[in-house]
Amino acid sequence: MSRELEVEVGPTCISSGYCRNFAPDVFGAKEDRKSYVKANPVSETPQVLEAFESCPVEAITAKDAGTGEEVFP
């Protein structure tokens, strides 16, 4: 069973789009093409983890929704 995560995209986002490519159900694009999280909490899946890792500026952060423990970065 995967855990639930509270995910945020910070202001350092440069709109690379990698996160949206790996997890389009989780990440969307604002008018300025910067990414945002469509809805929290997010299920931890291989695609979501790959999206986190793909961000070239580490703009994505994630915490365990149940414990508040930092999961990423």
Residue 8: give the domain boundaries. Answer: 4-66
Query: How many domains in the chain?
Result: 1
The pTM score is 0.92
- Tell whether the model's pLDDT for residue 71 goes beyond 80: yes
Q: Is residue 52 part of a domain?
A: yes
Q: Is residue 71 part of a domain?
A: no
In Å, what is the CA distance from 58 to each residue of 2, 8, 20?
A: 22, 11, 14
pLDDT band at 25 (very low <50, low <70, confident <90, very high): very high
- Tell whether the model's pLDDT for residue 51 goes beyond 80: yes
CATH of the domain at 14: 3.30.70.20
- Tell whether the model's pLDDT for residue 1 goes beyond 70: no
Q: Is residue 73 part of a domain?
A: no
Q: Is residue 15 part of a domain?
A: yes
pLDDT band at 19 (very low <50, low <70, confident <90, very high): very high
Radius of gyration of the chain measured on its C-alpha atoms:
11
Q: Is residue 8 part of a domain?
A: yes
Output the six-digit token pair for 72: 């990423």
